[in-house]
Amino acid sequence: MKELAEILLKAESVVAVTGAGVSAESGVPTFRGPDGYWRSHRAEELATAEAFQRNPQLVWEWYNERRLAIAAKEPNPAHRILAGWEKRLPGFHLITQNVDGLHQRAGSRNVIALHGDIWEMRCGTENVTMRNEETPLRVIPPRCQRCGALLRPNVVWFGEALPQAALHRAEKLAETCDALLVIGTSAIVYPAAALPMLAKRRGAVVIEINPDETPLSAQADYRLRGKAGEILSAIDRAIHARSPRCARQEPAKVVGQRRKT
């Protein structure tokens, strides 16, 4: 962990890319884990414009239940440490695929949300986006108060383009960073999954934090096998041991494996 702390402290630009695994320790189910099913549907089937067209009621019931589940959860140490690094590590940037808003609730201010926000809705007719934190939703499916059209969750569904500005900023950051942490993602959803390789091609150190192997693992310079909360706590402790000016995070044990390629 000392070596990693050195790398992160020496880096002028550090980027963290997170996926659903970062929220797993908050109790939010991941997409492709054993709890990835919802009423025998997979996320890929429901998170599409076609599914919404076909059955907006069903899709909104799914989002309503996810919103309810997320609202009952708290950010975990992984979210909090990443929020702390935004203040403590110069040139730190957070890019997330998650739509749960837990990074923001943990205090992260500049989150690049590639796949949108489950707490926002969009009226396609008027092309306006509004924040809505009702749990549960009073009306399913919700409608626009101005024009009565169906509202949709302001998230990126499969087959939809990511918000161009966010994607472009994420790609620029990946291409210019010195170190990129990939935390809690199965690294199979594109174009987000391409970011670590963009960084690696430009000579950045790529650090994967995940209990399991992923398609990215072989390319990572460091593979830390374990839970995000525990591993980030250990790295955070090593950072504070080297730069005592910051307050300490709670101690944590860690079992990890480092393979330098």
Applying CB under 6 A, which residues contact ligand BV8? 19-21, 24-25, 30-33, 44, 47, 97-99, 115, 155-161, 184-186, 188-191, 209-212, 214, 227-228
Residue nearest to ligand BV8 (CB): 21
Nearer to ligand BV8, 156 or 252 (CB): 156
- 119 and 104 Cβ atoms separated by less than 8 Å: no
Minimal distance in Å, beta carbon 2 to ligand BV8?
21
Minimal distance in Å, beta carbon 114 to ligand BV8?
7
Q: Which has the closest alpha carbon to 75: 108, 106, 30?
A: 106
Nearer to ligand BV8, 190 or 247 (CB): 190
115 is catalytic: yes
Nearer to ligand BV8, 115 or 200 (CB): 115
For 17, phi then psi, to 5°, come to -110, 120
- Cα pseudo-dihedral 199, 232, 103, 137, rounded to 10: 120
Dmax (CA) of the chain: 57
Nearer to ligand BV8, 71 or 246 (CB): 71
Q: For residue 223, what are the β-bridge partners?
A: 208
Q: How far apart are CA 246 and CA 202, in angstroms?
A: 30
Q: Beta strands of 162-219 (E only): which ranges? A: 179-183, 205-209
Q: How far apart are CA 81 and CA 72, in angstroms?
A: 21
Active-site option among 79, 93, 103, 115: 115
Q: How far apart are CA 5 and CA 111, in angstroms?
A: 22
| Catalytic sites, residue numbers | 115
